[in-house]
């Protein structure tokens, strides 16, 4: 069966779903992601301050994940500018977990479309926390 789905990495887990990320990498300072790192989930494990991730230039079928582990702000920025599709807007330039007490467990998956012109975003957050949920701020 042929499909145009997001690339899936790894083998099925016990719950029946696939592994979406082949690698997990922690960054504690601002970092510019490379195209070759597609299939990676980035965390801020060990960070003592805000971390900004800059996506690579758009090209077809890239996928990156972001998961907040340390209680620090995490921002994901498009290198090209206003090409992030999020919350009824197809022209955002960044998304962030930066609201006090609403960061840990925040998770997003960025996938470039097949034309390589937009970043599609899915919220993979852990769900409600003591403050009522993970808040995503768009710019």
Residue 92 DSSP symbol? B
Indicate whether 6 belongs to any domain. Answer: no
Q: Is residue 134 part of a domain?
A: yes
The reported pLDDT for the residue numbered 18 is 61
Contact between 78 and 107 under an 8 Å Cβ cutoff? The reply is no
Q: Has residue 30 been placed in a domain?
A: yes
* Predicted local distance difference test score (pLDDT) of residue 127: 59
Of 41 and 125, the one with more pLDDT: 41
pTM score of the predicted model: 0.84
Average pLDDT over residues 78-83: 94
Residue 115 lies in a domain: yes
pLDDT at 34 over 50: yes
With 50 as the cut, is the pLDDT of residue 15 above it? no
* CATH number for the domain harbouring residue 105: 2.60.120
Q: What is the pLDDT of residue 13?
A: 41
User: Which range is least confidently modeled, 17-21, 57-61, 62-66, 85-89?
Assistant: 17-21
How far apart CA 57 and CA 80 sit, in angstroms, is 7
Please give the biggest Cα pair distance in the chain.
Answer: 46
Q: For residue 34, what are the domain limits? A: 23-138
Task: Work out the pLDDT band at 75, boundaries 50, 70, 90.
Answer: very high
- Give how many domains the chain has, as a whole number: 1
Coil, helix or strand for 7?
Answer: coil
In degrees and rounded to multiples of 5, residue 92 shows phi and psi of -80, 155
What pLDDT is recorded for position 108? 95
């Amino acid at each position: 069966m042929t499909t145009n789905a997001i690339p899936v990495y790894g083998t099925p887990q016990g719950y029946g779903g696939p592994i979406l990320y082949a690698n997990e990498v922690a960054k504690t300072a601002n970092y510019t992601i490379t195209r070759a790192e597609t299939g990676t989930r980035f965390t801020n494990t060990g960070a003592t301050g805000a971390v900004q991730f800059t996506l690579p230039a758009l090209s077809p079928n890239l996928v990156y994940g972001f998961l907040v582990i340390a209680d620090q702000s995490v921002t994901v920025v498009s290198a090209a500018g206003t090409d992030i599709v999020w919350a009824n807007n197809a022209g955002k330039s960044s998304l962030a977990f930066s609201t006090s007490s609403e960061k840990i467990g925040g998770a997003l998956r960025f996938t470039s479309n097949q034309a390589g012109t937009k970043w599609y975003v899915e919220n993979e957050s852990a769900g409600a926390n003591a403050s009522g949920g993970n808040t995503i701020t768009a710019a």
